Structures are given as C-alpha cells and as structure tokens.
Structure 1
Amino acid sequence: MIPTTRLIALLFICFSLASKGQNAEIKKESQTTTEWLLANLLREKSNNVEISGKPQTVASPYGEAVSFNGIDDAFFLNELPLQSLEEFTVEMIFKPELKGVFEQRILHIGESTKDRMLLEIRAVDNNWYFDGYTASGTNKKALIDEKLIHPLEQWYHVAFVVTPKSRTTYVNGKQELFLEFPFLPIESGQTSIGVRMNKLCWFKGAIYKIRITPKQVQPNNFMSFIK
C-alpha cells in the first residue's frame, strides 16, 4: 500500500504534468495560421468585421478579389492574429493601382499608435515601393527603399518576415531588404485592411488574399503565386 504522503505527491506531479500539457496545447492552438480571402470577408458580413465605404468584388487571376477605392473603402476586424507571436510571416497577394495617394497603409495589426505591424506602399508616378513597418515598445523601424520600385497595375506577392532579432521584406519571392533589429510581441489591438487604423492613408487597388503564419516562412513555402 502506498503511503498517503507519497500518494499525494504522485497525484500532484500527475496534475502538474497534465496542466502543462493543456497549457502547451492551448498555446499551440492559439498560434495557428490565419488566412483571409478578402471576397469571403466581404460576403460573410461577420459581427467581427466592420466594413467602411463600398468595397467591391472583382476578378483576379487567382479568383475573386476585393477592390478598394482609395477614399473610404476598408475592413476593420475585431481580431489580433499577431498576439504574443515572437516571430511571424505576413503575406499578401494584391494589385496596387494608379491614382492613389503617396502613402498607403494596406494592412495594420495592433494598436493605432503603439505596438503595431503594417504593410504599406509608397506610390510615385506609375510605380510603387514596399514598406514593412513594426513598432514594439521603443523599437520602431520601417524597412523601405525608394529605389526598389515596381510598376503599378500589376498583381504582386509581398511578404514581411519578423523574428525576435530581424525583419525581412520580399516582393514576388525575391528578398528586398533585411535588417537585424529587435522585436517584442504585440499584445493588444485589432486589424484594419485598406487603411491605417485611424483612417488615414487609404489604399487604392485590389487584394486577393492575406496569410499570417506564426513562424518564419522561407520563400519556397510562400503562398502560391504565378506572375
């Protein structure tokens, strides 16, 4: 017969191991890949999604996409897919169009002015260049180079890879910029698509899909994209 004190100790160990397993499972489940097909977001009309303006579905080489007019079209989602992530990869298939403003915020996750991540472009004449931005605590940095231009009115795949020590941007699977720079997880906020959270710097163009993966993704595993 097992002594009472030893039995209690064994039960405590078993309970502790079970709790750790449950916590690990909860953390694993919370760090799943997020995918948004923009046309589905528009159709579903979820209570978690507020639609500004009148974004429209349009045809794309990949399926139905959503067109943003660069004036008042946007989605505001009561979601924070980057919460507590120490590293992540954000990908987007989109088409920036002519007649948009110079600074365009396409995807904003986090707080309006505090910890946040943004995918942005700058439009100049008939071209654009990419900007991947993060702010965490006192660490704020934009990965941007005005010399790395691309023609407007074409479909592109962009990716922004963030780790605890670095940030990297890609356009059509080709690395553009890399910087060793510290990052701390974003813990609060929401998501906007088509504009910055405070409704400044509207995006003019179309978006087919956005994917957020809770790890560093290599280019050979990016979303399928044929230019």
Structure 2
Amino acid sequence: MRTNSRLFALLFIGCSIVLKGQSQELNNNSNKKTEWIIADLLRQKSNTIEISGNPKIVSSPFGDAVSFNGTDDAIFLNELPLQSLQEFTVEMLFKPELNGQFEQRILHIGESKGDRMLLEIRALENNWYFDGYAASGTNKKTLIDEKLIHPLEKWYHVAFIVTSKNRATFVDGKQELREDFPFSPIQTGQTSIGVRMSKINWFKGAIYKIRITQKEVNPKDFIQS
C-alpha cells in the first residue's frame, strides 16, 4: 500500500508539471509580440525588406528613428504579423510633421484592397487626428473623429486594438474611440510602413517603434513614451 501511494504521488506530481508547462506555453503564446525598431529595419540587409525612396535615420527622444519625406519614402516587409489573429494591439511611437498630405497611411498590414489593418492620420494645417482602419470581409470602417485633434511636430504614442467584437483607438494612453466591429482574422498579405501598400497617401514624419501584441493590451501596459 505504501509503495502504491508513493507511485500515485509521483504520477500526480509528474502530471502537474506537464500541465503547468502547457499553461506557461499558452500564456507565452498569448503574449507573443512583434516589435520593430524602424531604424534597425533600415539598417538590415535582407531579401524580405524593400526600401522605397531614401528614408533617413534621425535622432529622437527614444533613440534612432526613421524620417519619411511624405513623397516616396517607405519600407515594405514580406511579413504578415497579424496572420490568423483573433485579436491584437498595434502600438506606434511617431512624430507627424508639417506640410504632409491630408490623408496619410503610416502602417498597412494585410492585403492592398482585401482584409487589412491600417494606422492613418489626417493632417490639417497645424494639427492631426487619428484613424484606425480595419477591413474584414464585407465589414470595412474607419474609426475616426475630426474633432479629436493634436498638434503636429510632437512625438506621440498611438494604439489600435482590434478584437473579434470591437475596435478602439488611443493617443498617449487615452482612449479616443471604441465601437462594435465584427472582425475575422487576416490570412494573407504583407506590410508597408510609411505609405499604403499601393504606394499612395505617403506619411511625412518620423517613426521610432511599432509593436504588435497578440491580445488586447491594457493601456497601463502600453509602450511608455
């Protein structure tokens, strides 16, 4: 009896260890992140990265950033970090600048005209307002409010959260908009930084970092700007 009790105890401990390991692996997967320091992308020599124009490395409060001229500067990546994700949070540290186009696409992930996600701004004379865009099947909508303006020529943190049920935008940790939106995962496409995939609506300004997390991130855990 004593031997059987010891054997049962060992089996129980072994199962507990296996289950604990599986739980940790799931937690790690749910917290998986893609993080791009844009200056590092520019420095890389890779077949998966295409550079358009002549984006330049510039200094920022956080480290080396990349300046885009609003005319022909962009970075194209043969990557799809949103593939199959039911929910995600996209964050960016960037500085929109004066004299850019009114409509500017800063980050585009997915298809050029099909399922996709974009971080965009609308630039006025001295201000800008944020636009989080998602297209999922026949559901296509811009999350935007022209009254929520911010001065150009300053560094900002923005975030766009998409779940299977809704979307929300944040600027400097403060929620601006949230609405219901049925979303199905993006399965195909690539990534462009500094312009829409189709090479229209160029961004004028600088970008330091983009981070994509495979879950809805609490604002207290956003990148600290």
Tell me the TM-score range normalised by the shorter chain.
0.7 to 0.9
Asked if 1:211 corresponds to 2:207, the answer is: no
The match for 2:60 is 60
> 3-state DSSP class of the match of 2:98?
coil
Name structure 2 gaps, 5 residues minimum.
1-20
The match for 2:150 is 150
Alignment of 1:10-89 (within 5 A): 32-89=32-89
Opposite residue 101 of structure 2, the aligned amino acid is V
CA contact (8 A) 2:30 2:215 kept: no
> Aligned equivalents of 1:188 and 1:36: distance in 2?
20
Name structure 1 gaps, 5 residues minimum.
1-20
Deviations 1:122-157 (A, max 9, x none): 001100000000001001111000000000000000
Asked if 1:183 corresponds to 2:180, the answer is: no
> Aligned equivalents of 1:130 and 1:181: distance in 2?
18
CA contact (8 A) 1:56 1:68 kept: yes
Moved over 4 A (4+): 28-31
Asked if 1:135 corresponds to 2:141, the answer is: no
> Aligned equivalents of 1:56 and 1:136: distance in 2?
34
Deviations 1:79-121 (A, max 9, x none): 0000000000000000000000000000000000000000000
Shift in Å, 1:220: 0.1
> Aligned equivalents of 1:32 and 1:172: distance in 2?
23
Shift in Å, 1:162: 0.4
Relative to structure 1, is the Cα distance of residues 46 and 31 closer, same or farther in structure 2, using a 3 angstrom cutoff? farther
Aligned-CA RMSD value: 2.0
Asked if 1:126 corresponds to 2:142, the answer is: no
> 3-state DSSP class of the match of 1:60?
coil
Which range is displaced more, 149-158 or 40-49? 40-49
> Aligned equivalents of 1:30 and 1:56: distance in 2?
34
Opposite residue 56 of structure 1, the aligned amino acid is K
The match for 1:112 is 112
Relative to structure 1, is the Cα distance of residues 214 and 30 closer, same or farther in structure 2, using a 3 angstrom cutoff? closer
Q: TM-score scaled to structure 1, two decimals?
A: 0.86
Opposite residue 213 of structure 1, the aligned amino acid is T
Opposite residue 61 of structure 2, the aligned amino acid is P
The match for 1:160 is 160
Deviations 1:21-46 (A, max 9, x none): 99xx79x7698310000000000122
Opposite residue 185 of structure 2, the aligned amino acid is P
Shift in Å, 1:187: 0.3
